[in-house]
Structure 1
Amino acid sequence: MIKISVQRLVVFSFATLLFSCSATKKVVETSTGKGADKSDLLYMEIHRVAVEATQNNNVPGVAIAVIQNGKVAWTQCVGLADMKSKKTVTTETIFNVGSVSKLVSAWGLMQLTEKGLVALDEPINPLLVRWKLPVSQYDISKVTLRRILSHTAGLSVHGYGGSEQGTPLLSLEESLSGKTKRNGESVRLISEPGTKWEYSGGGYTLAQLLLEERTKEKFADYMKKNVFEPLALNHTHYEWTEEMMASSATAYDSSGKPIKNRIFTEQAAAGLQTTILDLAHFAMLSVTSDSRQLNKVLKATSLQLMEKPVLPFSDLGKSGLGYRFMNYEGFETIGHTGENEGWSAGVFMHLPTKSGIVILCNGSNGDRVWYPIYQSWIKRIKVAEK
């Protein structure tokens, strides 16, 4: 989920220099990526901003990818994946991406509609067996997959805190019933479906259950087999596998102290791990909607539908199916941001110019890093639009 408001984001862009690390750390550019051109003014500007922002905000490292003309133009990695070992960030470093997970999980959920396992506007409660929405004063039959994916279903639970790696996880049913340690809030209707935009991580947990019920597979396994493998996202998973842990960055809290990774029952909402190269490739597919590259994971028409806003929306928020419309400083992009303890990420795409930027950080203060980088990027996009 987004940790800070748009208003606070603007403040951070001016306040970056006020934050300083208690200890000096080495900042290293570790990878330029294929196609990088250091004479590119945007490349140099983003590098300068990334070095400054990581140093000033207790964020050890950041990985960045820029999409231009529908292709990944270059990547750059700055800083450390682990401060103790001095392991640098590379394009193969694994990051958790928080609520960016929703953007990716929406592809698997949309795939269910193409397979005829659920219709976008079909009531989902009758399809569920293991757990159902509790009786409500509001109309449960209006809770549909379209409304869940667009945050218009009227459901509760904004976000999740997860558990420390190594601790037992709740079942999906226990999470939906409100047995989470963070807020103890159950997933239920809190407004009439289809009448307002209201961000709900709980809705995505309900959709995760729907996928498992309709496919008879675990969510993480289904996504790996039906989305990640066909798209060659070979370093992306909704679980922390041993192989991924070996390549993972270390998470750091807001004071710069290392913390244990968080694991999530609510994988569709918050549990995705990936690399900058994998997520940049995913973003590129979103920008181009090229049926040849989609490899039958989704139809191009389905993806284009996902990238259109769903009514109702307001100043509080605006979403497609998994894709959020984000308006910072009067400039609208689609994509998603994500914040889990120790991690921060942003995926921003501008479809008219086939441009995008992906930013992954291994620190709780990562929003103070990705936002000034985002600002540098949109200056270039605004020029290209004219």
Structure 2
Amino acid sequence: MRNNIRLKTFFIGTLPNVFLGMIFSCSATRPSQDAVLYQADPLYMEIEASGRELTIKNHVPGVAVAVLRDGKMAWIQTIGYADLAGRKPVTPETIFNIGSISKLVSAWGFMQLTEKGLVKLDDPVDPYLTRWHLPKSEFDPSKVTLRRILSHTAGLSVHGYGGSEQGTALLSLEESLNGKTKRNGETVHLINDPGTKWEYSGGGYTLAQLLLEEKTHQSFATYMKQNIFRPLGMKHTSYEWTADMMATSATAYDEQGKPIKNRIFTEKAAAGLQTTIKDLAHFAELSITPDSHQLNKVLKPNTITLMETPVLPSSDEGGSGLGYRFMNYEGFRTIGHTGENAGWSAALFLDLPTKSGLVILCNGSNGDRVWFPIYQSWLKTVKTKGGSSR
């Protein structure tokens, strides 16, 4: 990273509830401009103070936060521990699982298939498949398209997945689609007439994962690494828990603050992505300002604009573009995604009119109790820039 980085280390409390935080502040301004010191940024200081309290109160050992302004990363702040037993602090290079934000990132891979001409956004998906097909139902499977899958309007079942403990054997994609998962035991099938209702479906993203593997003849994780992450410079991002990633990974903690084993997923596109705050913040930058040079032919800027455009129908329960969800917290509409897996919690919020963004990664099941107050603090600053409920 070419920007100057300032490091602050602080201690909180006394043993055994000591949290060591390492706070980084980096300037995203042009080299000719002075970096804004963290001491002069009220939001930085507010998050530093509240983050220390929130992590301890909610049994979430660590949190990493990135704030984006004018479409670029303004600073990264890390608080607390990646691992309590080893007194290992969270850093900008710490690996976190990001739950359902995996869907937002995987959508870039699926949309790349359309740019390559391997699939068409509005063609029926089922005829592309050979390894598995949608079960027969009262609804028309020919209406299940990639556009509808990515926008949660395809009428498909299975809200989410629980994964398996690391070290156990994974199901095949076909077994998962056939409902052999321990968490829900539900086959991916049509429960609504496609195109008539918004209903969140992790099952749809598992179907899209199979589609990508069929059309590229590669595993999903390999394809995403070679065609999305490497070209974007996301060197510490993977849909697999590799040995290298485990060496710098945070430990997951449950609601009581007890360490738990990592979850692994057959359904990688829906829930299985590991990344760092630096990598995901860069992804957020490209979502706000799709720069052709930085995109490195991964996607065209107008494809990202399309992905951030609402797909109808929406409902009181939600609405989506292609991978990007439209969220309304505190009466303010943003796009992005949130993610929850056992031991992990994450959020990514973008306000495109002000080119503002917030990325938060936590290594605890109660992480939403940490990131939501941080979101509230960030939102106040966005509103002062002219952001508004839309």
Q: TM-score, normalised by structure 2?
A: 0.92
Residue 28 of structure 1 aligns to a residue whose secondary structure is strand
- In the alignment, the residues of structure 1 paired with residue 246 and residue 330 of structure 2 have an alpha-carbon distance, to the nearest angstrom, of 37
Show the counterpart of 2:178.
Answer: 177
Identity of aligned residues (%): 70
Answer whether contact 1:313 1:319 (CA < 8 A) is retained: yes
More strand by share: 2
How far residue 63 of structure 1 moved from its aligned partner, in angstroms, is: 0.3
Name the CA distance, whole Å, in 2 between partners of 1:47 and 1:349: 21
The secondary structure found in structure 2 opposite 1:268 is helix
Q: Distance in 1 between matches of 2:333 and 2:255?
A: 28
- The corresponding residue for 1:280 is 281
Please give the alpha-carbon distance, in whole angstroms, between the structure 2 residues aligned to 1:342 and 1:300.
35
Q: Which has the higher contact order (CA 8 A, sep 6+)?
A: 1
| Cα deviation 1:279-303 (Å, max 9, x = unaligned) | 0000010011122211110000000
Counterpart residue number, 2:337: 336
Q: Whole-Å Cα distance in 1 between the matches of residues 81 and 25 of structure 2?
A: 17
2:313 maps to what in 1? Answer: 312
1-side partners of 2:133 and 2:174: how far apart? 9
Asked whether the 8 Å contact 1:98–1:340 carries over to 2, the reply is yes
Counterpart CA distance in 1 for 2:274 and 2:329 is 26
Give me the CA root mean square deviation. 1.1
Question: Tell me, which stretches of 5 or more residues in structure 2 are unaligned?
Answer: 1-12, 28-36
Residue equivalent to 1:18: none
2:25–2:38 contact (8 Å) kept in structure 1: no
Match status 1:88 vs 2:89: yes
- Counterpart Cα distance in 2 of 1:204 and 1:346: 19
Asked if 1:200 corresponds to 2:192, the answer is no
The equivalences for 1:282-301 within 5 A come to 282-301=283-302
Shift in Å at residue 27 of structure 1? 2.3
Are the aligned partners of 1:205 and 1:269 in contact in 2 as well (CA < 8 Å)? yes
Structure-1 residue corresponding to 2:7: none
CA contact (8 A) 2:38 2:45 kept: no
Letter in 2 for 1:296: K
Query: What corresponds to 2:263 in structure 1?
Result: 262
> 1:135 is paired with a residue of what secondary structure?
coil
- 2:370 aligned partner: 369
**For each residue in 1:337-363, what CA deviation from the matched residue of structure 2 results, as whole angstroms up to 9, or x when unmatched?**
000000000000000011100000000
TM-score of the two chains, using structure 1 as the length reference: 0.93
Kindly provide the CA deviation profile for residues 136-195 of structure 1, in whole angstroms up to 9, marking residues without a partner as x.
100100000000000000000000000000000000000000000111011000000000
| Matches for 1:113-152 after TM superposition, within 5 Å | 113-152=114-153
Contact 1:31 1:91 in 2 (8 A): no
State the distance in 1 between where 2:25 and 2:188 align: 43
- The answer for the alignment partner of 2:252 in structure 1 is 251
1:24 CA displacement: 5.0
Deviations 1:177-221 (A, max 9, x none): 000011101100000000000000000000000000001110000
Amino acid aligned to 2:52: V
The one-letter code of the counterpart of 1:370 is W
Q: Give the superposition deviation at 1:32.
A: 1.0
